[in-house]
A = this chain, B = another copy of it.
């Protein structure tokens, strides 16, 4: 997902190229629910997500300036991720996804 995938003449497709992967959406969900998240936090709150997938998705989201990584300790080096302003602007999408999921039980 770090290269152009869907034809980007359409704004919906452009958004999908940024966050159209399900894992990316769940990563962003965690950052809307929690101000900052460490690598391990994402793994613990997202069943099925493995470190290699998480690492790749975080890099893509960071490269698109949707999230930012901040180091809060130098010795030992520790970092956490936060939404950028651009990332926070995804709020209406996340809310719409949540509301539809609450309305319809699509688990079957």
Tallying the copies of this chain within the complex gives 2
Chain A contributes a number of interface residues (CB within 8 A of B) equal to: 43
Residues A93 and B96 in contact, CB atoms below 8 Å apart:
yes
CB-defined contacts of A106 to chain B, threshold 8 Å? 8, 14-15, 17-18, 64
What's the nearest-Cβ distance from chain B to residue A16, in Å?
Answer: 4
* Main DSSP-derived SS at the A contact region: helix
Q: Of B16, B92, B97, which contacts A99 at CB under 8 A?
A: B92
Given A11-B98, A15-B100, A17-B106, 11 other A-B contacts at CB below 8 A?
A5-B48, A6-B22, A6-B26, A7-B47, A10-B29, A11-B100, A13-B29, A14-B104, A16-B25, A16-B26, A89-B100
